[in-house]
């Protein structure tokens, strides 16, 4: 299993009052014709495919075209953004989108938050308050403050809103 959205440079994810997922942000303007550099916080690169719609606090942005610009960055042209000034005005704007259809063996952050964590014996360890990015392994933050690396997840049941983990003895005893 792997966690999505996932990159080392994305911010911590927490619960939200909207069904939209934060998928990236506009890093800066690029060039003179309205292109911007978008940093994706997800490995679902179809988020910047032509025709994709991304929601912002300013309204919806529709992707005209995009091209890779590093491991998690894309140069993107949005509809209606035709010059450097318009592109500059988007700097720092966060991009959100609807959840994608489920992909096998993927843990979605929005499904983990609020789930009950159980060990292999079925003992409840707590409820996930948020998921934080960490270079070694993203961390599930329990409401109690306990931290469990996502790599210890052995099963996930979205319908029951539970996560099963196989953690080393003493991990939560600190």
For domain 20-97, give its CATH number from 3.40.50.150, 3.30.465.10, 3.20.20.70, 2.40.30.60: 2.40.30.60
Contact residues for 32 (Cβ-Cβ < 8 A; gap 6+): 83, 84
Q: Measure the CA–CA gap between 32 and 4, rounded to whole angstroms.
A: 33
pLDDT tens readout for residues 88-125: 999 999 999 988 775 556 677 778 889 999 998 889 99
pLDDT at 4 exceeding the cut of 50? no
**What is the pLDDT, as a whole number, of residue 106?**
67
**What is the pLDDT, as a whole number, of residue 27?**
96
pLDDT tens readout for residues 123-161: 999 999 998 888 788 899 999 999 999 888 888 888 888
pLDDT at 81 exceeding the cut of 90? yes
Sequence spans of domains, the chain:
20-97, 106-165
Nearest to 81 by CA among 113, 105, 58, 106: 58
Q: Measure the CA–CA gap between 144 and 141, rounded to whole angstroms.
A: 8
Fold of the 106-165 domain: SH3 type barrels. (2.30.30)
């Amino acid at each position: 299993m792997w966690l999505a959205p996932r990159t080392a440079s994305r911010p911590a994810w927490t619960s939200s009052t909207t069904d939209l997922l934060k998928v990236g942000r506009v890093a800066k303007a690029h060039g003179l014709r309205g292109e911007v550099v978008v940093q994706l916080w997800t490995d679902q690169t179809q988020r910047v495919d032509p025709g994709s719609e991304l929601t912002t606090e300013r309204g919806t942005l529709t992707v005209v075209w995009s091209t890779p610009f590093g491991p998690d960055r894309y140069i993107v042209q949005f509809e209606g953004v035709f010059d450097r000034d318009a592109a500059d005005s988007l700097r720092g704007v966060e991009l959100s989108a609807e959840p994608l259809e489920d992909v096998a063996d993927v843990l979605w952050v929005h499904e983990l938050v609020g789930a009950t964590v159980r060990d292999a014996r079925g003992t409840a360890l707590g409820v996930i308050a948020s998921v934080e990015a960490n270079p070694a392994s993203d961390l599930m933050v329990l409401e109690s403050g306990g931290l469990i690396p996502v790599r210890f997840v052995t099963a996930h049941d979205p319908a029951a809103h539970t996560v099963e983990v196989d953690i080393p003895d003493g991990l939560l005893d600190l």
